[in-house]
Amino acid sequence: MKTLDDLLAEGVTGRRVLVRADLNVPLDGDVITDDGRIRASLPTITRLAEAGARVVVAAHLGRPKGAPEARYSLAPVAKRLGELLGRPVSLAADVAGESAAATTGGLADGDVALLENVRFDPRETSKDAAERDALADELAALADAFVSDGFGVVHRKQASVYEVATKLPAYAGGLVLAEVEVLRKLTGDAARPYVVVLGGSKVSDKLAVIESLLPKVDAILVGGGMCFTFLAAEGLGVGDSLLEAEMIDTCKRLLAEHPEKILLPADVVIADAFAADANTHTVLAANIREGWKGLDVGPITVERYREVIAGAGTVFWNGPMGVFELAPFAEGTRGVAEAIVASDAFSVVGGGDSAAAVRLLGLPEDGFSHISTGGGASLEFLEGKDLPGVRVIETGVGG
């Protein structure tokens, strides 16, 4: 696939370059609580701006219903992006309308502008290809080249991800290129033992990737809310813990087919309420009390998982071990993450809540070989699914 390096070699001075970034950051009101995705976008934007390009950034935030909503405006993102770039970033008032045309038309070499939330336009996510194509035409009119740098959205066939790449000379940004290279390593000849750490709330969310990875890996260490469905499949009571009853039989099958590969918590932290000030106890997984909720894995589990991780050649981690946002339930995630940092393994953090946990818990980001910016896209890649936003760059369609 053509890359950012190829575009820069062709020369970008005076050219408008549309960059599809993933700037979908968490907000508390208009305060960004984790700017990791903005920081991840900086290298590509900076390289283009320093080379004299007129950079036009497209991105989404949250899930607006195809119309402007103040709470999903990219205004806080434009402000933070400008702070990190050390230069002002102008924000268009619309996606591809008069304001976008005026804002991008007024750029000088090295300037950066941000279009308003692309999901304010219903055509962005429309199931009608003709509608997406029409928006892509309008976006393409704002630029001379397209750089795909939002790995978190490349699994979506959306106007600013897929169709626009058929309208302009299209290139993979550094972020997308790095993600694809790392994930191909995980699905190819990964160093053994290959250990996967899976957390998060639901087995159903991770079933496809579990099914895909089980034949390829040496161990899957299960935590998070999903572990209680597995524990129930072993015949244990789980109290009021998160449980997907309809997935119990599936978990039974997986455990029967791969008893030596799937490791479950030996102990858990339980609470009488989902709250930071709840009463808590650490109990064996077989002793979860009726009316209590399991909200983290316990220290015996952390030590057991640490031993497995210490001997690994490759570790892929997706999903926290507990409700890490609340202090009483953060130690499972912290302990397992610290074990990954301490290991000599090639280690990949699978984006989403795992990446947020790394930053919230103050863990060294350089302690991991790679921190993905695309949780859903990463999982779909590992499941073997087609990623339209990658395929369209690889095939060279456009321009």
Q: Which residues are annotated as a binding site for ATP?
A: 206, 294, 325, 351-354
Catalytic status, residue 352? yes
CA torsion sign, 245 to 246 to 249 to 250?
negative
Nearest to 35 by CA among 375, 378, 366, 360: 360
**Quick one: tokens of 312?**
């690994």
Annotated binding site: 22-24, 37, 60-63, 119, 156, 206, 294, 325, 351-354
Q: Which of 36, 332, 352, 398 is catalytic?
A: 352
Query: 2 with 392: CB under 8 angstroms?
Result: no
User: In sequence order, which ranges of the chain are alpha helices (DSSP H)?
Assistant: 4-10, 36-50, 75-85, 98-105, 129-140, 174-187, 203-213, 227-233, 248-257, 299-310, 331-342, 352-360, 375-382, 388-394
SS3 114: strand
Q: Determine which one of 39, 79, 202, 391 is catalytic.
A: 202
Give the annotated binding-site residues for (2R)-3-phosphoglycerate: 37, 119, 156
Instruction: Write down the catalytic residue from 174, 376, 385, 391.
Output: 376
Compute CA distances 372 → 10, 28, 195, 349, whole Å. 29, 23, 17, 6
Q: Of 262, 359, 394, which Cα lies nearest the Cα of 35?
A: 359
- Which residue ranges are tagged as binding site for substrate? 22-24, 37, 60-63, 119, 156
Q: Exactly one of 15, 37, 261, 293 is catalytic; which is it?
A: 37
Can you tell me which residue has the tokens 């007024």?
A: 106
Q: What is the DSSP string of 194-220?
A: EEEEE-SS-HHHHHHHHHHHTTT-SEE
Phi and psi for 127 in degrees, rounded to 5? -80, -10
Amino acid found at 222: V
**208: CB partners within 8 A, 6+ apart:** 379, 383
Among this protein's residues, is 376 annotated catalytic? yes
Closest CA to 41 of 22, 55, 26: 22
In eight-state DSSP terms, residue 347 is: E
Estimate the crossing angle of helix 352-360 against helix 36-50, to 10 degrees.
100
Q: Are 294 and 239 in contact (CB under 8 A)?
A: yes
For residue 69, the 8-state DSSP code is: -
168: helix, coil or strand? coil
The catalytic site residues sit at 37, 202, 352, 376
